[in-house]
Amino acid sequence: MCGIVGILGRHQVAPILIEALKRLEYRGYDSAGIATLDDGHLVRRRSVGKLVNLSDLLVRDPVRGESGIGHTRWATHGRPNETNAHPHQAGSVAVVHNGIIENFRELRAELEATGTGFETETDTEIIAQLCNRELKAGRSPVEAARATLARLRGAFALCFLFDGERDLLIAARRGSPLAIGYGEGEMYVGSDALALGPMTHRICYLEEGDHAILTRTSAEIFDADGQRVERPIADIPQENFHAEKGRFRHFMAKEIHEQPSVIAQSLQRYLGSDLRLSEFEERLDFTACERIVLVACGTANYACHVAKYWFETLARMNVEIEIASEFRYREPPVGPETLGIFVSQSGETADTLAALRYVRAHGGRIVSVINVETSTIARESDVALPILAGPEIGVASTKAFTCQLLVLAMLAITAGRQRGKLDAAECTRLAEALSGVPGLIAQALALEEDVAETAKSVARARDVLFLGRGPMFPLALEGALKLKEISYIHAEGYASGELKHGPIALVDQEVPVVVLAPYGPLFEKSLSNMEEVIARSGEIVLLSDANGLAMSGGKAAHTLELPSVEALTGPIVYAIPLQLLAYHCAIQKGTDVDQPRNLAKSVTVE
């Protein structure tokens, strides 16, 4: 959340800052702004709303300069208006910030007591004001920035630009990610490598507590103790930078349709031609743990709910699922017998990272399932398993969810094998089932026209219920979340059997009920729940296979026929029509699919 960028360049920097911010806009779009050194002097342009408003402003009111900083905001403190937009400036320093300064109230009171006036409602302004006070006291920019950093509590990534200092940027990281990019006689700072992709592939990540003093030709990095350190510079592969919509109207549509290929890519990496999961077997040991704790937020948390079914049935293991923001403060008992599995698309989710550190501090082992291989969560894990989904730009997670499910399924199979609950033949059968998933997803994608038709009716509703049993219950939760996120229709997911314990009171002809019920041992029970809804005039949207639809007796108002699946593949395949349903409802309602209101991706704040 919040994207920051800094450039010490050799060309006019404003358009390059805007290009970089475009690639960071998924992190926030409440406002955007840049500051540059025009003839050596700080100038700012800021605009409320999306980045396009800032680009339009720059056409009307351009700025010059070859050094600059930029920001795209997801507001935490202070309304999304122009005054609160970053960069914040006080005297001869401007700053962009991702994160929260937790002690800003006390610092603000301290400065106000000595006559400093504040312009904004943000926590960020305190950074600029503190730094300016140090500059006015005669400290150099580097000394002033260091003295400022020493006063701040909370999680943040920062970039400072100083009036009159054409060859200096100072960047700092405590809690929020920050990358340094090395160019030819140019130097860059960005919230992620993606932002810097068009400028350079040579990237180094600041570690926790680091700050960096940058000129066009040098980057001096200091650790939390102020010691000069070297951080490795990696050459990030070209494909990690591709973030174009191609022939699609939205990133979300592109990412939904990419699923057969990214799942195939992940299978190719992890599943050998002998159908063995050798890399998992070598790097993991499920015999050494008594208990698994699966920790994540949002959609990734629902992937964990599905995985619980798999670990229980395939490996007969005790599994707890935790919402990271609760787990981190609950002080749950954790010890060396605990294996923590942390799932995060960005690998930077602040709550998940804090939960990981809690488990590490209490002696547990750490496995992470992440999309960004260079992320903090990946770096702080004993074993990091990339899901290989490629950049996910749409704020509503789609391909990362199914790729997380695939990796979690492979983990559950590995656990079953290592713990002697699955024999070799059964493992091969399950691996074969997984290798069929790209084809099954392609079949599910072929339903798009039918889903779009169904969406015309669902999009009229104010409330929608999603029901599922077994591993389809978490899918019901995910289907409801996806619909809420991008179409703003209120939706709830329930275990089908829970309907009669309360939510059925909501059912009438205005409330569509989406039932996820592949044919199987529990199908008849789902049919009964469906009848209960129909008896109360509810409109059923039934997602099932040919057998299930044949048995349903044509009672559903809308049906979507999916390929037949088993318990291991079902949740991955049924995710597709749910994503498409949310997408087409959003299209019907004309909402902003890729950048839904109030949301942003890569949740680096609490």
416 contacts 307 by C-beta, under 8 angstroms: no
Q: Is 543 in the site for ligand HGA (CB under 6 A)?
A: no
Residues contacting residue 527 through CB under 8 Å, at least 6 positions apart: 517, 551, 552
Structural tokens at position 273: 């031609």
Stretches 94-102, 144-152, 363-371, 476-484: which one binds ligand HGA (CB under 6 A)?
94-102
Q: Is 46 in the site for ligand HGA (CB under 6 A)?
A: no
Q: Is 97 in the site for ligand HGA (CB under 6 A)?
A: yes
Q: Which neighbouring-strand residues pair with 166?
A: none
Residue nearest to ligand HGA (CB): 1
Question: Which of residues 36, 72, 89, 122 is near ligand HGA by CB under 6 A?
Answer: 122
Q: Is 73 in the site for ligand HGA (CB under 6 A)?
A: yes
Task: Out of 22, 308, 482, 601, pick the active-site residue.
Answer: 601
Question: Which of residues 36, 98, 344, 579 is near ligand HGA by CB under 6 A?
Answer: 98
Question: Which of residues 6, 65, 68, 99 is near ligand HGA by CB under 6 A?
Answer: 99
Query: Going residue by residue from 565 to 604, which x/- string records binding to ligand HGA, judged by CB under 6 A?
Result: ---------------------------------------x
Q: Is 2 in the site for ligand HGA (CB under 6 A)?
A: yes
Task: Supply the minimum distance, in Å, between the C-beta of residue 96 and ligand HGA.
Answer: 9
Cα separations in angstroms, 83 against 88, 118, 183, 303: 9, 11, 33, 40
How many residues sit close enough to ligand HGA to count as binding (CB under 6 A)?
Answer: 18
| Alpha-carbon gap, residue 415 to 32, rounded angstroms | 47
Residue list 233-262, contact with ligand HGA (CB under 6 A): none
112 contacts 151 by C-beta, under 8 angstroms: no
Residue-by-residue DSSP string for 49-109: SSHHHHHHHHHHS----SEEEEEEE--SSS-SSTTTPSPEEETTEEEEEEEEETTHHHHHH
Q: Is 123 in the site for ligand HGA (CB under 6 A)?
A: yes
Q: Is 76 in the site for ligand HGA (CB under 6 A)?
A: yes
Question: Which of residues 38, 52, 53, 78 is near ligand HGA by CB under 6 A?
Answer: 78
Nearer to ligand HGA, 99 or 471 (CB): 99
Secondary element (H or E) of residue 386: strand 383-386
Half-sphere exposure in the Cβ direction for 546 (13 Å, CA): 2
Active site residue 585: no
Q: Is 192 in the site for ligand HGA (CB under 6 A)?
A: no
Question: Which of residues 26, 29, 74, 473 is near ligand HGA by CB under 6 A?
Answer: 74
Q: Is 1 in the site for ligand HGA (CB under 6 A)?
A: yes
| Alpha-carbon gap, residue 319 to 416, rounded angstroms | 13
Active site residue 22: no
Residue-by-residue DSSP string for 480-520: HHHHHHHH--EEEEEEGGGGGGTGGGG-STT-EEEEE--SS
Residue list 6-45, contact with ligand HGA (CB under 6 A): 28
CA–centroid distance for 437 within its chain:
24
Nearer to ligand HGA, 77 or 362 (CB): 77
Number of Cβ within 10 Å of residue 395's Cβ equals: 23
160 contacts 169 by C-beta, under 8 angstroms: yes
Question: Which of residues 21, 34, 37, 75 is near ligand HGA by CB under 6 A?
Answer: 75
Task: Out of 2, 159, 289, 585, pick the active-site residue.
Answer: 2
Stretches 98-106, 194-202, 269-277, 463-471: which one binds ligand HGA (CB under 6 A)?
98-106
Nearer to ligand HGA, 74 or 358 (CB): 74
Question: Which of residues 19, 52, 77, 116 is near ligand HGA by CB under 6 A?
Answer: 77
| Alpha-carbon gap, residue 8 to 215, rounded angstroms | 7
Which three-class secondary structure state does DSSP give residue 242?
coil
- Interface residue list for ligand HGA (CB under 6 A): 1-2, 28, 73-78, 97-100, 122-124, 604-605
Query: Which residues are marked as active site?
Result: 2, 601
